[in-house]
Amino acid sequence: MDVSVSGRMGGPETGARYLASIVRLRAMLKAALGEVAVAGVEVTDIELWVGGTVTDHAPGGFSSDVRYFARQQRLLLAVLVPAACARSVDDDLVDRETARWIVRGFEDARMPRSAQRLDLADVSVALRSLVAD
């Protein structure tokens, strides 16, 4: 399965702190999900929206959403992280916490009816491998 990863930063301080981590995470996700096959999904798009001083993408708290586009055979995972959560991460844990947000986002996401018929168990296992101790 092909994977795309993008990030939207809610302020310059958020970009300075998390953008490099998202770039590193992209390679890890491509490696982890590269061999995973899900019938009906050719591409998984992962968007990480990290709140900051300009825009708090998740003022109501951490949230995530999955959308499935059957014709395009694309699965979209959008993970929204509140600014307060982003600020609370220790500098030496940024990479690990960024990966945890993706895993948590996938596991906690609201699945639309169109995606509920997909067998995403292997995706979940592959994502969990990113944060295994």
pLDDT at residue 133 tops 70: no
In 3-state terms, what secondary structure has residue 13? helix
pLDDT digits (tens, 9 = 90+) for 27-86: 999 999 999 999 999 999 999 999 999 999 898 999 999 999 999 999 999 999 999 999
Check residue 10 and give its pLDDT. Answer: 95
Tell me the per-residue pLDDT of 77-122, one tens digit each, with 9 for 90 and over.
999 999 999 999 999 999 999 999 999 999 999 889 989 899 999 9
What was the pLDDT predicted at 18? 96
pLDDT at 126: 94
Cα–Cα distance list, 24 to 18, 21, 28, 32, 98 (Å): 10, 5, 7, 13, 10
- The per-residue pLDDT for 110 is 87
Torsion of Cα atoms, 39 then 103 then 107 then 125, to 10° = 50
